[in-house]
Amino acid sequence: MQSFPGQVNTATSATGQTPGSVSIRFDPLYVRTLPGGLKVAQIILNFIGFICIITTDVSTSRGNWFNTVAMIGFWSSGVLLAFYLFHIIEKFYKIPWLKIEFVYCAIETFFYLLAASLVAAHAYISEALGAAAFFGFAAMCLYGFDCWLKFKALKSGEYAQGQPPSSKPVSTVGSPAGY
C-alpha cells in the first residue's frame, strides 16, 4: 500500500514583469513604425496648415476655427508621440489608450473635414487659404487612417504599446523527497 508522501516541494514564480515595472526609456525607433510615422506626419501637417492661415491677410472665424483644430491636433499628437517615444503608454497600460486615441482621431477627422471645407470655400480670397485647405484635407485623411488602424487594433484585442506585464504567478509542484 502506498502512503501519502512525506514532503512536497512547491515553488511559485512570477512570469514576466510585475505591474508598473516597465521602465520609462527613450525609444527613437518608434517613429519608424506606421503609427509613429503617422503621428509625425500629422504634427507636420497641423503646423503647416496653421502657418498657412497665419500668413493670410484675411482674418475670419473660419481661419480661427481651422487654427483651433490645427493646434489641438498639433499638441495632442505631439503629447501622444512623446508618450510613445518614452514608453509611458506601456507603463500605464491600464488606461484604455487605444479607445482614447480612436475617439481622438475620429473627432479630429470630423473637425478637419469641417475646418478644411470652410477654408476651401473661401480659397478665392487668398492662396494661403487654399493651401491651408489642402493641408487640412491631407491631415483629415491621416487622422481618418489612424482612426481606422485604432479600430482594427481594438477589435483584434491588441495593446497600444507592448504587452501588459503578467502578475499571475505560476505554481509548480516537485516530486516528494525520496521518490
C-alpha cell at 77: 499628437
Per residue in 3-19, pLDDT (tens digit) is: 555 554 444 444 444 54
Residue at 9 is within a domain:
no
DSSP state of 32: G
Residue-number span of the structural domain to which 147 is assigned: 40-156
Q: What is the C-alpha to C-alpha distance for residues 25 and 5, in angstroms, rounded to an integer?
A: 50
Q: What is the pLDDT of residue 14?
A: 43
- In a domain, residue 85? The reply is yes
**Residue 26 pLDDT level (bands cut at 50, 70, 90):** confident
Tell me the pLDDT band of 144, cut-offs 50, 70 and 90.
Answer: very high
Cβ atoms 77, 39 nearer than 8 A: yes
The answer as to whether 14 is a domain residue is no
Alpha helices per DSSP H over the chain: 34-55, 61-85, 88-91, 97-120, 127-156
Is 109 among the domain residues?
yes
Ramachandran angles phi, psi of 11, nearest 5°: -140, 135
In a domain, 169, yes or no: no
Q: How far apart are the first and last CA of the chain?
A: 15
Give the pLDDT score at 94.
86
- Count of beta carbons in the 10 Å neighbourhood of residue 92: 13
Residue 120: CB atoms within 10 A of its CB come to: 17
Contact criterion met (CB below 8 Å) for 80 and 108:
no
143 grid coordinates: 487622422
Average pLDDT over residues 17-28: 69
What local confidence, expressed as pLDDT, does residue 12 receive?
44
Is 7 within the bounds of a domain?
no
Report yes or no on 179 lying in a domain: no
Number of structural domains found in the chain: 1
Apex 51 CA angle, 46 and 57, nearest 5: 140
Instruction: Flag whether 77 is in a domain.
Output: yes
